[in-house]
Structure 1
Amino acid sequence: MKKSLMLIAAAVLALSAGDAFAAKKQLVIVVKGLDNPFFEAIHQGCEKWNKENADSEYECFYTGPASTSDEAGEAQIVQDMLGKPSTVAMAISPSNAPLIANTLRAANPQIPIMTLDADLKKEDAALRKTYLGTDNYLMGFRLGEYLKKAKPNGGTVCLIEGNAAADNILRRASGTRDALSGQKGLDALKGEGGWTEIAGCPVFTNDDGPAGVQAMSDILAANPKLDAFVIEGGWPLFGAPQPYRQLTDQYKDRIASKDLVIVAADTIGDEVAIAKEGRVEALVGQRPFEMGYKAPSVMISLIKGEKVEDPVFTGLDECTKDTADTCIQK
């Protein structure tokens, strides 16, 4: 009997603790998809904040659709979370910027909204308080500069992109074209600065690593004299590292001689090792862990009505074969 009473008491305490946790005010992070290692790094940053702030009235709550290709699923999650009284602020990484903007307009949230990793389009910026993440234009520009340094006389290039409606990827592509052309605002390179985008490019892969590698393989088969790839998100490298290695094995002499130059975004997963192996000319990486760790504090500041800069940039890490051992900020 005594043992039963003890078990009942323990269960009551556990339920009380669970209720207390559930009663916390939720600082919600909605990402493009849970199947992407990049977003898992954001999740880890969110969880670190929770551990360091266990006594806070707030908790960082991470969610998103199962797949980065599920744009409608992300919009539905945003809508659902906005309907919960526990949600007191939200940070969103929009997979489809116009769709998320329309979702916010329809919901008309009375809580602070910010964007994380990817922003809304400029005309929709008033729907959120600030953007926290990478300076995506600068990231793309730096990729272009690395390519231009490797092949100063220009050539033919193909941009590998993710979602056609993702603002962060579009800004990177814009930065890359500006760096290569020496001009601003081009939708495609047609000889400016010596660079021409080949037919069929850019290629949109919906952030899918194997699809990115396959696209590169297909493009090279159709264009054997292609001079360069700019991979605006690191999906082929961190999402399919072995297929990427197998592909680059076929072109190792061209890559080593800079006859074929590949530059890529991000520095996660196997990417730095791939750079060290000389399978990519340069990586320009983001800091997703820092995004996830900083987002709750920014949301709390917004809740309190404190001044928050817009945008809040988290910096870049740049890696080459020669700097691979020391290129990541600790």
Structure 2
Amino acid sequence: MVKKGKLVLLVTVIISVIVFGFISKSLVDDKPKVVLVLKGLNSQYWQIVKAGAEKAFKDFGIDGKVIGPSDGSAKEQGRLLEKTYKENPKVLITAPVDSSVIPILDKYTVNKKIPVLLVDQDEPWKNKTSYIGTDNVELGKRAGSLLGTQLQPGDKVAIIGGDLSISVFKERVNGAKMALKDAGIIVAAEKVGIPDDGKTANKEMKKILSDHPDIKGVITTHDIVALQVAEVLKEQGLTIPVIGADGIPDILKLIEDGTLSGTVAQNPYDMGYLSVENALKVTKGENVEKFVNTGVDIIIKENAKQRLDFLNNLIK
């Protein structure tokens, strides 16, 4: 009897393990698979986007992952997109490095009917399901207006930053010029097409100051450049305002300690979170907005620390 009882117990345990394993596998299989392919993962900005997405994966029970090219190139991003294509995700979210990856994205939507959401950078691509990110013309306008409040009509400023073939940068510059014109501020120098290597921005800013020693302020297309501009100004003992765009922690530190007066900031954490939230809606067959605006914030000394503490907790 004892042996028979042990046998029954053993069989019961085995069946329970099999059933539990089957249920666990079913639960995992039921989770929608969502992949987010960013422009990179090495910068503070993309780490914040990643943190937002990973929080949403957890909150919504999604089988998700975030990847990005180590060198930030379109070629490497294309390779990652091709690899992900073979994995058959339920939804793809991506921040295109540039328009050269669009033919790969077409394969998702046309060949496999996989919805594709764009985050951070919009593209004039008819097959996208949605764009989740900033209205970059509006961001540029707010940057120009913020700088204008610190200057006088007739003052001269410089615009410096990335390649205007990238729509994000082009829209920001256009928006900034509109606001500066309205404020009566003169754009005396414009240098774009600068890579994110630091050295080039440093060199070009020094040249601008040499050619236009009377400029009273600077607008940059993004914070990587703004950091270099601030470094050059510090070296030369100048305290003119510099307005960047992304609100990364390194810029916020400069605002908190009074080195910079303020900046405009995107909301990269919200971009990551909301892109995943909208991807989930797509898997359920729900409609999503073609443009999900994640907003622009003005950051000054009074609110810099609060935002800095929040971001530092995300990427520590």
Task: Tell whether 2:266 aligns with 1:264.
Answer: no
Q: Give the AA of the match of 2:64.
A: C
Q: Report deviation, 1:21.
A: 6.2
Query: Could you tell me which of 30, 45, 48 is aligned with 2:52?
Result: 45
Any residues of structure 2 matched to 1:216-255 within 5 Å, and which?
Answer: 216-237=205-226, 246-252=231-237, 254-255=238-239
Cα 1:299/1:276, change in 2 over 3 Å: same
Q: Report deviation, 1:209.
A: 4.2
Q: Report deviation, 1:251.
A: 4.2
* CA displacement 1:75-112 (0-9 Å, x = unmatched): 23223312322x1111111221x213333235535111
Q: Report deviation, 1:51.
A: 3.0
Paired with 1:329 and 1:179, the residues of 2 have a C-alpha distance of: 31
The residue that corresponds to 1:212 in the other structure is: 201
Contact 2:94–2:119 (8 Å) recurs in 1:
yes
The residue that corresponds to 2:137 in the other structure is: 137
Cα 1:142/1:204, change in 2 over 3 Å: same
Task: Tell whether 2:105 aligns with 1:114.
Answer: no
Task: Tell whether 2:42 aligns with 1:35.
Answer: yes
Larger Rg: 2
Aligned residues: 288
Q: Report deviation, 1:212.
A: 3.0
Cα 1:80/1:158, change in 2 over 3 Å: farther
Q: Give the AA of the match of 1:30.
A: V
Q: Report deviation, 1:66.
A: 0.6
Any residues of structure 2 matched to 1:126-165 within 5 Å, and which?
Answer: 126-165=126-165
* Gap runs ≥5 in structure 1: 1-12, 183-191
Paired with 2:31 and 2:204, the residues of 1 have a C-alpha distance of: 45
Paired with 2:105 and 2:188, the residues of 1 have a C-alpha distance of: 36
Task: Tell whether 2:279 aligns with 1:299.
Answer: yes
Task: Tell whether 2:40 aligns with 1:74.
Answer: no
Task: Tell whether 2:255 aligns with 1:279.
Answer: no
Any residues of structure 2 matched to 1:10-25 within 5 Å, and which?
Answer: 25=32
Cα 1:24/1:324, change in 2 over 3 Å: closer
* Gap runs ≥5 in structure 2: 1-19, 311-316
Q: Report deviation, 1:326.
A: 4.8
Q: Report deviation, 1:218.
A: 3.4
Paired with 2:80 and 2:91, the residues of 1 have a C-alpha distance of: 14
Q: Give the AA of the match of 2:37.
A: V
Any residues of structure 2 matched to 1:304-323 within 5 Å, and which?
Answer: 304-323=284-303
* CA displacement 1:151-192 (0-9 Å, x = unmatched): 23134333222343322222111111111123xxxxxxxxx9
Q: Give the AA of the match of 2:205.
A: M
SS in 2 for 1:270: helix
SS in 2 for 1:298: helix
SS in 2 for 1:127: coil
Contact 2:119–2:131 (8 Å) recurs in 1:
yes
Compute the TM-score of the two structures, normalised by the length of structure 2. 0.79
Contact 1:169–1:232 (8 Å) recurs in 2:
yes
Paired with 1:266 and 1:205, the residues of 2 have a C-alpha distance of: 17
Cα 1:205/1:60, change in 2 over 3 Å: farther
Paired with 2:292 and 2:82, the residues of 1 have a C-alpha distance of: 25
Paired with 1:166 and 1:277, the residues of 2 have a C-alpha distance of: 32
Paired with 1:145 and 1:103, the residues of 2 have a C-alpha distance of: 39
Q: Report deviation, 1:323.
A: 4.2
SS in 1 for 2:249: coil
Q: Report deviation, 1:147.
A: 1.5
Identity %: 23
The residue that corresponds to 2:11 in the other structure is: none
